[in-house]
Amino acid sequence: MAKHRFMRESFRVKQYHRRKDETEPAWHAFIAYRSMKPEDRELDKLIEMRPNLNRKKVLEWFAKYDWEIRAAMFDKEAESQLRWMQLRKVEEMEKRQEELGKMGLSAALKEMRKLLTTIDLAAGDRVLSTKQIIELGAFSAKLERLALGEPSEIIEDKSQETMDLSELSVEDLRTLRNIHKKLKQKKS
């Protein structure tokens, strides 16, 4: 008994569901209105689509049953569900990519082991060339890193690059030396 009461309490009627006082014709007209694309949602277009509808009645139902608000809430819910489904698809894709990356790495490791243990490189039952093994390993590692949300490219730190000082004057070099001394003192 308590289970059924909980189920009834947890079920909430959405604003865009049929209202208790809404007539069958008003409800069906609302469904047609709600089903229109938001940018095309106009009463005149609805009446054009459904010539059997009475314009005066549609205007009455529109106001009485808050069609505009209810349709907007329906759109919001549909968009939310669409975003949720998109997120689920992205998660599934990431899992597939991670698995594919692992499988590729496994295949590349297997081939690399064969390569290291094979004395005669021309012999054996290898399917891939050495270059292909290296490319497969690199691609698989990149794919696995992408699936895990890790950077897949090596980014060089160019902050430690040396400068060509040959074109500087003696005065410029003295200035740089003084700046360097001051920076060292601040660090200590």
Please check whether residue 108 lies inside any domain of the structure: yes
List the structure tokens of 173: 């070099």
Q: Helices 24-35 and 67-117 meet at what angle, rounded to 10?
A: 50
Mean pLDDT of 5-25: 68
> Which structural domain range is residue 143 located in?
75-147
Residue 103 pLDDT > 90: no
What is the structure's pLDDT at 48?
92
Same domain, 51 and 108: no
Write out pLDDT tens, residues 150-186: 776 766 655 555 666 667 677 777 777 778 777 778 7
Please check whether residue 105 lies inside any domain of the structure: yes
Please check whether residue 115 lies inside any domain of the structure: yes
Same domain, 59 and 81: no
Given the structure tokens 């014709």, which residue do they identify? 25
Please check whether residue 164 lies inside any domain of the structure: no
C-alpha 60/C-alpha 44 separation (Å) is 14
Same domain, 117 and 86: yes
Please check whether residue 174 lies inside any domain of the structure: no
Please check whether residue 82 lies inside any domain of the structure: yes
Please check whether residue 183 lies inside any domain of the structure: no
Cβ neighbours of residue 15 closer than 8 Å, sequence gap 6 or more: 66, 69, 70, 73
Mean pLDDT of 137-154: 74
Residue 29 pLDDT > 50: yes
Same domain, 56 and 118: no
Same domain, 137 and 82: yes
**Structural domains in the chain (count):** 2
Write out pLDDT tens, residues 64-89: 999 999 999 889 888 988 999 999 99
The residue from 147, 168, 183 where one domain ends is 147
Please check whether residue 169 lies inside any domain of the structure: no
